[in-house]
Structure 1
Amino acid sequence: MSEGPVPTPRVVLVDGVPMSGLLACPADAAPTAVVVAIHGGATTGAYFDCPGHPRLSLLRLGARLGYTVLALDRPGFGSSALYAEEFTDPARRTEMTYGAIDAILGDRDRGAGLFVLAHSNGTELALQLAAHPDRGRQLLGVEISGTGLNQQEAAAAVLSSASITNVPTGLRELLWEPAELYPDGIAGAVRIKAGPISPGYEGGLVANWAATVTELAARVRVPVRYTMAEFERVWAADDAALGEVAALFTAAPDVRTTRQLNGGHNLSLGHTAAAYHLSALAFAEECRVRRTSETRATTDVTMEAN
């Protein structure tokens, strides 16, 4: 069976700043919808195209199943890394991200619309997109993973000394263990290797994480799914912790929590990545059907009124 189209690197100018990402489109038909994938810290959109393991790639799987998949480099990463100081304002990051999506997709068919999937630090940007006063409600839904409200005690001790230039001892164990969950060498294959591992604004973002996520979640008005890895070592992962995050989305019409068995923090790079991506795309499909049904119902009511 085909592993799906090979993703294409894309760079576009948005307000004079180069924004980059990877794009994979269905080969022979218009897309069902567009999945916008947003990576976490210390990597780029390549996170969603597992190097050397195309079967684990969200980009290739999504395109093979009829979705256009765009794995963006977040503002301050990839081609925009040299402009990182311009992105301290979250509103600026949000507008630049929407601008990059529009510029890269161009006049391509978007199917039913945009669905956002985010990992770890990328969750903040995903929620910013979903909370946007104009475009947020147009999203089909949001999938988040590798995040939470409260860190596990051991993780908090390790991460207290982390910075954009310092990788503390013990971080690898938090993010990449148990090792048997991942292909050999994958951590080094996706990690930023030169210069700061993340833009400067990430320090403040991480320091205020719980308050930021809480505020943004209350403004999300589209369906949300929150996936916790079975072997998550950064975030509190018990049932109470999952429920606490789900309870933040007070305005969302549908909020779900689930666990990915045999998964570690970096779900899109482990041996169960294909299983995780299939479940996330199944949720995206449910969101698409929901939106289509809502649109049809609104149209029927309008026609009856006329």
Structure 2
Amino acid sequence: MAAEHPHSSASFKPFTIRLDNDAKTTGLACVPSTQAHEAGDGPRPLLVGLHGGTCTAAYFDLSPDYSAAAFAVMTGTPFISINRPCYAGSTSILPLEQDEVFFGRTGRWLHEFILPALWSEYGRPNKCDGIVLLSHSMAVPPTIVCAGLHAQQQSDQALYPLAGIILTGWGSQPGNPPNLSRDANTGLLTPSFGAKVELMLGDASSTCYDPSVVAILKQQESLQNVGMPEQEGTQIEQWITKAEELCSRVRVPVLYGMGENDFLWNASKEDVQSFARLFTTSAKVETKIVLGVPHAIEWSRSSKAWYWQCFGWASEVSVALQWRKGAF
């Protein structure tokens, strides 16, 4: 992966982890030194990035100017960006059982196998307080499923501590559907390069991003525009019918941000609040319409401002998790 990623931050390193179900998860890891985070020296969440459809773990490391790594190093916060199941070397969850939903199985794998492995590999050894998931677009439904499953466990039985979830690029009312082509041999769905740019950043007249981002995307097309399983790409409507039930199971804090100029979802104040209200049992729900940005907030002119908010919020909910455990 590193050889194909010429703009990658030097702080991110590729990894492969074997899971308890004998599957594997691949991705990129930025793990700052623990020296400044000895016991009692402040919160240290383990931030786990989950990319959207037709992307890879490199979504959170587009270039040194658009990377979570800089904030991980500045704050001493480990950031692990995984390739979700079926992507870039991570084991596929297919085929699905009859009536099984792609998002549901992905969420279950996150809860039962992937997050426990990441906690053992990166969380506990680096003295982290809990996991915070930063999930974009198609990663949002499995994140919600995972958080709901975690809420059903007693804290002393959980294989990992979940402090909160950050959700972006998803909503209650779909906007413009992406234009995807199906590969007859693999069944994977992939947008053309032009369609991918429009989906993630807006049309050619948009000023929500620096034009240099398009050139970077073109150089990294093999990482930033990959095939998406057909089952994932065709189940958005099915998800919407189950969203109220699944969101109501989430108990951890939720930070929900939508780009004002999101292509895939309507981002009006009413639509954002409508989705946020589904989290009826969450400890707290914060919503943000991030002004002047597209679907891919992390690739926008406000990328740095958004990452600052995410890392700060992750620290806040990590402190809250420790307080609820009676650690202070």
Please indicate, yes or no, whether the TM-score normalized by the shorter chain is above 0.5.
yes
Contact 1:137–1:221 (CA under 8 A) maintained in structure 2: no
Match of 1:165 in 2: 189
Contact 1:34–1:110 (CA under 8 A) maintained in structure 2: no
In structure 1, stretches of 5+ residues that fail to align are: 301-306
After the TM superposition, which of the residue ranges 161-170 and 122-131 deviates more from structure 2? 161-170
After the TM superposition, which of the residue ranges 136-145 and 19-28 deviates more from structure 2? 136-145
Percent of matched pairs sharing the same residue: 22
Structure 2 counterparts to residues 183-198 of structure 1, below 5 A? 183-192=213-222, 197-198=227-228
Q: Over the residues paired in the alignment, what is the CA RMSD in angstroms? A: 2.9
In structure 2, stretches of 5+ residues that fail to align are: 1-7, 38-42, 97-101, 183-187
1:29 to 28, 36, 41: 36
For each residue in 1:98-137, what CA deviation from the matched residue of structure 2 results, as whole angstroms up to 9, or x when unmatched?
2442454275224211111100001112112211233499
For each residue in 1:234-276, what CA deviation from the matched residue of structure 2 results, as whole angstroms up to 9, or x when unmatched?
2111111011011000000100111222321111122221110
Would the alpha carbon gap of residues 39 and 190 (structure 1) be closer, same or farther in structure 2, given more than 3 Å must change? farther
Contact 2:260–2:268 (CA under 8 A) maintained in structure 1: no
Contact 1:148–1:236 (CA under 8 A) maintained in structure 2: yes
Would the alpha carbon gap of residues 170 and 12 (structure 1) be closer, same or farther in structure 2, given more than 3 Å must change? closer
TM-score computed with the length of structure 1 as normaliser: 0.83
TM-score computed with the length of structure 2 as normaliser: 0.78
Would the alpha carbon gap of residues 207 and 181 (structure 1) be closer, same or farther in structure 2, given more than 3 Å must change? same
1:70 to 64, 73, 80: 80
Match for 1:173: what amino acid?
E
Match of 1:12 in 2: 17
Match for 2:296: what amino acid?
N
Provide the C-alpha distance between the structure 2 equivalents of 1:195 and 1:226, rounded to a whole number of angstroms.
Answer: 25
2:131 to 114, 130, 139: 114
Match of 1:304 in 2: none
For each residue in 1:22-61, what CA deviation from the matched residue of structure 2 results, as whole angstroms up to 9, or x when unmatched?
11112333471100111101111111112xx313211331
1:216 to 236, 246, 254: 246
Match of 1:174 in 2: 199
Instruction: Name the SS of the counterpart of 1:79 in structure 2.
Output: coil
After the TM superposition, which of the residue ranges 184-193 and 221-230 deviates more from structure 2? 184-193
Instruction: Name the SS of the counterpart of 2:295 in structure 1.
Output: coil
Structure 2 counterparts to residues 1-306 of structure 1, below 5 A? 6-14=11-19, 15-27=21-33, 28-30=35-37, 32-50=44-62, 53-80=63-90, 83-85=92-94, 88=102, 89-90=105-106, 91-92=108-109, 94-102=111-119, 104-105=121-122, 108-132=125-149, 133-134=152-153, 135=158, 138-152=161-175, 155-156=176-177, 158-159=178-179, 164-167=188-191, 170=195, 172-177=197-202, 178=206, 181-182=209-210, 183-192=213-222, 197-296=227-326
For each residue in 1:184-208, what CA deviation from the matched residue of structure 2 results, as whole angstroms up to 9, or x when unmatched?
4233355446996112431343342
Would the alpha carbon gap of residues 96 and 75 (structure 1) be closer, same or farther in structure 2, given more than 3 Å must change? farther
After the TM superposition, which of the residue ranges 103-112 and 274-283 deviates more from structure 2? 103-112
* 4+ aligned runs moved over 4 Å, structure 1: 168-171, 189-196
Provide the C-alpha distance between the structure 2 equivalents of 1:190 and 1:44, rounded to a whole number of angstroms.
Answer: 11
Tell me the CA shift for residue 151 of structure 1. 1.2
For each residue in 1:193-236, what CA deviation from the matched residue of structure 2 results, as whole angstroms up to 9, or x when unmatched?
69961124313433423134333211100110110112212211
Contact 1:226–1:256 (CA under 8 A) maintained in structure 2: yes
Contact 1:223–1:253 (CA under 8 A) maintained in structure 2: yes
Q: Which has the higher helix share?
A: 1
